[in-house]
Amino acid sequence: MSLENKATSFLNSNAARIVLLCLLPLGLSFFFWKTYPFSTELAQKTFSLSSLSPIQRENVDLAARAVDKRVIQPGEEFSFNGVVGPRSDGRGYRAAPSYLGPDSPATVGGGICLLSSALYQAALESNCSVTQRVPHMRTIASVLPGLDATVWYGSVDLKFKNAFKFPIQLSTECKDNNLRVRFLGPDDAPKQERSILHTFVASRTRDELQVEVMKESSGKRSLISRDLYRVSHSGISYSESKAHRSR
């Protein structure tokens, strides 16, 4: 019997029907994960791009396009560097001021830390599990201290895991001079409580600022981070006693 006849015979057999019945749920599951609509908002952050230079805005927009529509399965870890990839001239990124140590040198991809910071805040508020985050060494004007997340390809990353039992989709777009980041669940996802982030100035001197971030969930607060920054005297000022509330 030829190979073609053997294949035809198998496809017409009961064994083939059993195999197909076993594979059907897997196929349907794959189709579900790929096509199911994501319309339940789990977290949302909006940042103005007005303080950034035109080139920085281009870099942020390019990185946002790389992240947009990314689906994270339950238990899967998201890596900013893994998704966005290297920031290079060949990939469309341009040199722009970045907050590297105590200086602001022009680096390729400068400005995209605004996107990583927005993702970090949304991850906290949606109650995803943040597994890696590094603050800037000094205060920056575009993001409150304690709520920032710097990234540098090959060394410093932002990572978080989907702690839900359903997939989530990241929506990231630059529109009307704003960066908007949303974490979305499936249409029938159960209602989730959003956490509220509070930042407090724990101590400060003329040149240093220590900030604590608390996450409030179900009426309880827990310490998320305690970060020490060099103060950028050309940036915004911070009260020593006032608590900043991030929504």
pTM above 0.85, yes or no: no
| Residue-level pLDDT at 105 | 75
pLDDT tens figures, 106-128: 899 999 999 999 999 999 999 99
**pLDDT > 70 fraction of the chain, expressed in percent and rounded:** 77
Q: What is the pLDDT of residues 38-89, one digit of tens each?
A: 999 999 999 999 989 999 999 999 999 999 999 999 999 999 999 999 999 9
Buried b (16+ CB within 10 A) or exposed e, 197-228: bbbbbeeeeeeebbbbbbbeeeeeeeebbebe
Tally: H helices and E strands in the chain: 5, 13
Query: How far does Cα 129 stand from its chain's mean position?
Result: 11
pLDDT of 145 > 50? The answer is yes
- Of the pLDDT bands very low, low, confident and very high (cuts 50, 70, 90), residue 25 is low
Model confidence band, residue 36 (pLDDT cutoffs 50, 70, 90):
low
pLDDT for 37 equals: 86
SS3 147: coil
The Cα–Cα gap between 145 and 176 comes to 25
CB 179 within 8 A of CB 47: yes
3-class SS of residue 220? strand
Least confident of 112-126, 155-169, 220-234: 220-234
Residue 182, token pair as written in the block: 């949303």
